[in-house]
Amino acid sequence: MTRQYFGTDGIRGTVGKPPITPDFVLRLAHAVGRVLKRTEARPTVLIGKDTRISGYMLESALESGFNSAGVDVVLLGPLPTPGVAYLTRAQRASLGVVISASHNAFPDNGIKFFSAHGAKLDDAWELAVEAALEESPVWADSAALGKTRRLDDAAGRYIEFCKSTFAHDLTLKGLRIVVDGAHGAAYHIAPKVFHELGAEVVAIGCAPDGMNINDGVGATHPEALIEAVRANRADFGIALDGDADRLQLVDSRGRLFNGDEVLYLMVNERLARGEKVPGVVGTLMTNMAVEVALRGKGVEFVRAKVGDRYVLEELEKRSWLLGGEGSGHLLALDKHTTGDGLISALQVLQACVRSGKSLAELLADVTLFPQTLINVRLTSGQDWKSNDLLKTETAAIEAELGQTGRVLIRASGTEPLLRLMVEARDAAQAEACAQRLLKAVKG
């Protein structure tokens, strides 16, 4: 079956347009509640959100929908997506719900879910929910309605959890770190985590007003972080996105490191400590240089579909621990059940502190292949898969690149975009080939 509402990371769209409307979200929560009640008499769900103004409306709709199905609700307030995943597991809840559109601009919002174990749910569960949406609602009677309460210390619990993943014999004292919270869910959490571990923290992007999330700051706009690191002569810069599950890093010189490089660093640091790393999972977008470098160290590398849920599925299937995406979604399953920007940053800082080396020094043996990525906005109903000109051009470019590069064309799972990516050892060649694909798409 094809999913009608769920994309690669929950349900997402523009607020006020289907499906991100209060009536649909109420129906969604009711349907999820009914699915939960098939296996549990009195389920409890946790609801967290980012800082978008629409979060208030959607939170109320979710609460009503769950309560109407006889499901109890615990409200967490603004909290990073991985914080909701952690508390769902720690509180022994039935389900975790996050109201967020992650890196999107504030007019968008979305709903995503975590299992009782704090992991993304699979396609079969999403299909069961979509099937329940087609059924008529079954409202609980007054005596069986769910109740709602608030967990007042949710942020504090998550802060302590993040700190617990940093080596107890190390400290961040003596380091000045710029922390960019993207005016998002970690605005009141990220600065405290690094400060309480000893760092001098300069906070930017930590003053949300409901409409400025990801606006010129955060992981999707690292230029603000680079400028702040240089202006404050900081040792590191850490940028999160709106829901704090992805990470971008900057060193003292203002050099930006992406998720592929951070993933390699995390693997290499464990190898240097004598730990065994049997394999690593990346995605179709992971830079070829990382794959080549890991294989050179005897570490198997496997590509999953784009989306951290698919990276997680591949890791679990193989009983591996480390994986991630170039966008900064990184997984260390011995630290957390899902991608966490804060915990990933702490793993990198731990490697730097323990080794006494800079990020550049730790990554000296990896030089990323140039990649050109072009996003093309799709018109309603546009069928790019049947574009013969695009097929012909793609085949020609793949033949030209041979074993020195690759082409990836895919539709975004969260936005109406077609993503064109060309990777080659030569930057000019990658750019020229990507422009040829763009011309083919536009016809």
Catalytic residues: 102
Listed residue (263, 370, 382) closest to 323, CA to CA: 263
Angle at which helix 341-355 crosses helix 81-90, to 10 degrees, equals: 100
> CA 293, CA 287: separation in Å to the nearest integer?
10
Say if CB 371 and CB 401 are below 8 A apart. no
Partners of residue 422 on adjacent β-strands: 372, 407
Give just the sign of the alpha carbon dihedral 259, 415, 242, 128: negative
- Rounded Cα distance between 287 and 370, Å, is 8
User: How far, in Å, CA of 173 to CA of 93, rounded?
Assistant: 37
CB 21 within 8 A of CB 426: no
The closest alpha carbon to 155, from 185, 180, 177, 183, belongs to: 185
Tell me how far apart the alpha carbons of residues 158 and 170 are, in angstroms, rounded to a whole number: 20
Alpha helices, H only, 233-298:
259-272, 288-296
Q: Bridge-partner residues for 352, per DSSP?
A: none
Sequence length of the chain is 443
DSSP for residue 413? S
CB 78 within 8 A of CB 48: yes
